[in-house]
Each structure stands twice: as structure tokens, then as C-alpha cells.
Amino acid sequence: MLRIAVINQKGGVGKTTTAANLGAALAGRGRRVCLVDLDPQSHLTLHFGLDAAAARPSIYDVLTGSADFASACRPVRDGLLLAPAETDLAGAEVELAATVGREQVLRDALAAWHAPGDLLLIDCPPSLGLLTLNALAAADEVLVPLQPHFLALHGLGKLLETVWLVQRRINPALRVGGIVLCMYETGTRLATEVVADLQAFLDAARGSACPWADARVFHTVIRRNIKLAECPSHGKTIFQYDGASHGATDYAALAAEFLQAHAETLGAGESPETAKHSTAPLVGSQEPPASPDAVSDAAPSPEFPTPGAAPQEDYCPPATPLPDAAAPRLPAGPPPEQPTTPP
């Protein structure tokens, strides 16, 4: 089972939305997916219509040792399991503070779980605390939802340093698999500049030993769409709530690109039995009415420019350079070695 931590310490960038709808899209394409809600806010749990207060046993019970992982999982859709969270999860970091190997509790719980599956997606809290470290220790790779703003790009640098340290000291197999641009506003110069800086940074890391050396920025971007904000209040994924919306179109396209990127692990094709249940939009489906709250609803799913492509003719660079405070601060290399002290 491929384990992926959906992580960004900045809140409101689309982590839970991506975990829920990407997982649903992959399950609709015949993959067996398990979602883990590791956020004390329990938003992923609420997204599927479960009562966080009554979700017992939950991932909190798994981390504190009062339940195994299998007992916490429950089916929420065909081919889709969910290990829910509850508010008590906020106290798990304090309860695990004196536990030996506290960063590896989730990894040990998953190692004892022998249920068949293809993919496990972990929705992490918006912080770099002990819960996030547990997700990084248990994961094979990291998926970063990123809003194309410069402040979000600054936070990515700190996140990558944390991933580097976890790879060196806890989980040598950990790597950054990809970055998904969420709440993308098509046609804005800011989004184009952020994508260019991000792609240049990743290209400069190719061939190095850092965990993001092979990371990709997914060409499918998730446009800002009001339907994605509405569907959690109904306890539904975007495909159940409005399968003709641009949110459903974008996440279906992201699932297809995700399967291509992981073809060796997950396989890229669909079986005849599952093809009819695919969440991919039908050709010629009726377009939803234009919404004043949605950005670029009439446009097809956009792709950002590939490296080396000719600039758009209507693109005009800023007349003055961006101030130093707005320049992306991404790590140029490994973080400095920290001196160790005897216990």
C-alpha cells in the first residue's frame, strides 16, 4: 500500500478537500483507498458526514493504544475507508510526550494492519507538531497542496526542511512526490510568477540527494470553485454533490494524472467493471450555469506553462522588481547539522 501524507502547515490551502476528493476519485477508478484524518479539527471526518464526537474508536484511540487501526476504519463509499478523528486528538501530543518512539506510533499501528489496499492518504493538521511527524514517519511520500501565493511559497521552505530532517533521522524512504496547486485563479500574473519560481526551484534540485529531487508540480490545477466549499456541509464529495462542476472536473483530472505518475505502483488503467463507476467527467456533459462566486468557471481545466515554454504574448512582467520580502525563501540545500547532546 502506497502511503501519502497530504501536508502543509499553512491552513486553508486545500489539504482536506484534496484528501477527500482525490481519494474519492481514485476509489471511483477502482483503487482501494483508505483515508486517515489526523487533524484534531476533524474536517475530513465531517466531510463524509460522520459525527466527530461519536466517531469511536478513532485515530486518537489508535495513537493512544486503546484500539488497533483496523477497528478504527469504517467504509464511507465503495472502495473507500476512513479512519476518523475527534477533538480528543488535540491532546494526543501531550499524552505521547513521554512515550519512547512517539514519532513512530502511527507507523507501528499501520504495520500491524494487514487489510488489502492500494493507497493510504493521511490528512495532516496545519502544523509541524507530533501528529505531522507521525504522518511523515509512516508515509512513503508527501503530497503538498499549495495555494499560489508568495506567503504560501515561504511556508513551503520550512516544510521541506522538516521533511529533510525526518528523512535523515526517522524515515529514510520518505520523499516529496508532488505539489498540487489549489484555489488557482486562472490568468493572474501572481499565480504565473509563483509557479515559475516553484518550478525553477524543483528543477535546480534534480539529481541531488534531497527528498524533493524528483518532486513534480502537477499540471492539473484545482480552480477556486464554490461547489468545493459547499459539498462538505452536505457530507458529500464533490462528485456526489455536483459531478458536473469544475471542482469535480479538476479532481477527476488530477486523479488521472496521479495514476500516471504512480503507474508502476498503482497501475494506470481501469478494469471494465470499474470503468463505468469512474469519476471522470463524461464527454459532452452539460456545463453548470455560471456562478458569480466561482473563478473562471467557463474555462477548461488549466495547465501552467511547462519549463522552457515560450512566454505568453499578453504577459507583462512587473515594471519594478518584487521587494526582497516577497522573494520565495526555499531551502538551498540540507539544513545545518544540529549538535547532539548525550541523554
Note whether residue 331 is domain-resident: no
CA 76 vs CA 70, 123, 233, 235, 237: distances in Å: 14, 16, 16, 10, 11
112 pLDDT above the threshold of 80: yes
What is the total count of domains within the chain?
1
Q: 221 in a domain, yes or no?
A: yes
CA distance 22 to 261: 14
Residue 158 has what pLDDT?
87
Res 281: pLDDT: 34
Q: Which among 228, 226, 231, 268 is positioned nearest to 251, based on CA atoms? A: 228
Mean pLDDT of 73-83: 92
pLDDT, averaged across the chain: 80
Report helix, strand or coil for 39.
coil
d(CA 62, CA 65): 5
**173 phi and psi, to 5 degrees?**
-85, -5
Residue 328 pLDDT? 44
Question: What percent of the chain clears pLDDT 90, i.e. is strictly above it?
Answer: 55
270-285 per-position pLDDT tens digit: 543 343 334 333 222 3
Q: Which domain holds residue 206?
A: 2-326
Q: pLDDT tens-digit profile of 126-152?
A: 988 899 999 999 999 999 999 988 888
Q: Can you tell me the distance from the alpha carbon of 41 to that of 12, in angstroms, rounded to the nearest whole number? A: 12
Residue at 207 is within a domain? yes
Q: List, for residues 13-44, the tens digit of each pLDDT value.
A: 899 999 999 999 999 999 999 999 999 999 99
pLDDT at 333: 58
CA distance 59 to 67: 9
Q: How far apart are CA 276 and CA 337, in angstroms?
A: 53
Residue 213 inside a domain? The answer is yes
Nearest-angstrom CA–CA distance, 324 and 281: 43
Q: Which residues of 281-312 are buried (b: 16+ CB within 10 A; e: fewer)?
A: beeeeeebeeeeebbbbeeebbebeeeeeeee
Q: Is residue 242 part of a domain?
A: yes
Residue 336, in any domain of the structure: no
Residue 169 sits in a domain whose CATH number is 3.40.50.300
Does the residue 12 lie in any domain? yes
Does some domain include residue 337? no
